[in-house]
């Protein structure tokens, strides 16, 4: 089974604290690293948590508020200094390129790294990356400026051939790929062994949903339905619902309602307001609705 994990690099909201950097996460699928958001200090956290940052080829930026992007110039500068070659793909609002070009004006010298910007669609769900193993879809959230969430879905693997069946029927190598793809086995005497008797089902496809910054938005539920892990912002506690509404953020209770409606298996809450020294009561609040709620902390790694 592929290793598929999410590591929290930053779990604070706009103001970092002594314990929490601004938003950034790494989604790891085997040796592929995908970065979501890039708050100030992301390169420092990547180093601290021992990621090989040169393996990041795709960065997904939810929106252009500073606490989600101010780590980009430093990260790119360091990738260049480390000698990264080829392309680095940044998926973000189309304004980002201009913002970055100003800031990167005096980036060190010649570079073999080409940064390719891909504009996100903030109107409807869109596949932003897909290869044999994973599909990444952006979906609209609702914040003070254009904002997207991201859904990471492992793609179904082939079925596994049953080792006993291989031996029993002496299945020729030439047929094995077809059987993995669903074909029945036809023996030399013309008899048919149904696919289900000679295969083991593929591993279940795992998925991760990332939602920040946004008001609580029930219309995302079909998109994130059944995810193994949901990260949802819970900037405020339930008593600050009015402030959450005004600033286009979500309360712990509202996040839990979304996780419950989506039948997520587990939820991480994060993007905590710096007013909270201890965020355990936000978790407690959410658990009254969705018991499988946990607090995101910098450095936490969740294997899906």
The least CB distance from residue 241 to a second copy, in Å, is 20
Residue 87 in 3-state DSSP?
strand
Q: Which residues bind a second copy (CB under 8 A)?
A: 14-18, 21-22, 40-41, 43-44, 47-48, 64-67, 70-71, 73-74, 77-78, 81-82, 95, 98-108, 145
CA distance 213 to 232: 8
Nearer to a second copy, 24 or 293 (CB): 24
The verdict on whether 164 is a catalytic residue reads no
Query: CB neighbours (10 Å) of residue 168?
Result: 12
CA distance 255 to 260: 9
The least CB distance from residue 115 to a second copy, in Å, is 14
Burial 119-155, CB ≥16 within 10 A → b, else e: ebebeebeebbeeeebbbbbbbbebeebbbbbbbbbe
The least CB distance from residue 92 to a second copy, in Å, is 12
CA distance 295 to 98: 35
Q: Which residue in the list 37, 67, 213, 237 is annotated as catalytic?
A: 67
Confirm if 265 and 239 have CB atoms less than 8 A apart. no
Nearer to a second copy, 18 or 174 (CB): 18
Nearer to a second copy, 103 or 283 (CB): 103
CA distance 103 to 105: 6
Nearer to a second copy, 28 or 93 (CB): 93
Q: Within a 13 Å sphere around the CA of 89, how many CA atoms are in the beta-carbon half?
A: 11
Give the residues across from 5 on adjacent strands: 28, 303
The least CB distance from residue 243 to a second copy, in Å, is 14
The least CB distance from residue 25 to a second copy, in Å, is 18
Nearer to a second copy, 87 or 101 (CB): 101
Question: Which residues are catalytically annotated?
Answer: 67
């Amino acid at each position: 089974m592929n290793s598929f994990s999410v590591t929290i690099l930053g779990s604070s909201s706009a103001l970092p604290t002594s314990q929490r950097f601004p938003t950034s996460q790494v989604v790891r699928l085997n040796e592929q690293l995908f970065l979501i958001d890039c708050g100030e200090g992301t390169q420092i956290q990547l180093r601290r948590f021992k990621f090989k940052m040169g393996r990041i080829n795709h960065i997904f930026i939810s929106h252009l508020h500073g606490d989600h992007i101010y780590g980009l110039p430093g990260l790119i500068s360091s990738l260049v200094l480390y000698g990264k070659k080829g392309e680095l793909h940044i998926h973000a609002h189309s304004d980002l390129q201009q913002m970055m070009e100003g800031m990167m004006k005096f980036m060190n010298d010649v570079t073999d790294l080409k940064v390719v910007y891909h504009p996100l669609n903030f109107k409807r769900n869109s596949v932003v990356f897909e290869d044999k193993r994973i599909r990444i879809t952006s979906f609209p959230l609702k914040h003070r400026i254009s904002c997207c969430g991201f859904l990471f879905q492992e793609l179904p693997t082939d079925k596994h051939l049953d080792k006993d069946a291989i031996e029993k029927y002496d299945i020729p190598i030439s047929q094995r790929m077809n059987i993995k793809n669903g074909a029945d086995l036809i023996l030399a005497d013309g008899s048919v062994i149904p696919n289900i008797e000679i295969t083991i089902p593929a591993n279940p496809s795992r998925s991760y949903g990332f939602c920040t910054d946004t008001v609580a938005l029930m219309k995302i539920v079909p998109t994130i339905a059944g995810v193994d892990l949901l990260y949802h912002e819970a900037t405020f506690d339930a008593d600050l619902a009015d402030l959450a509404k005004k600033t286009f953020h979500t309360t712990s209770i509202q996040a839990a309602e979304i996780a419950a409606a989506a039948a997520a298996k587990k939820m991480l809450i994060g993007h905590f307001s710096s007013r909270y020294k201890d965020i355990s009561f936000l978790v407690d609040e959410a658990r009254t609705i969705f018991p499988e709620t946990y607090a995101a902390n910098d450095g936490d790694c969740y294997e899906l």
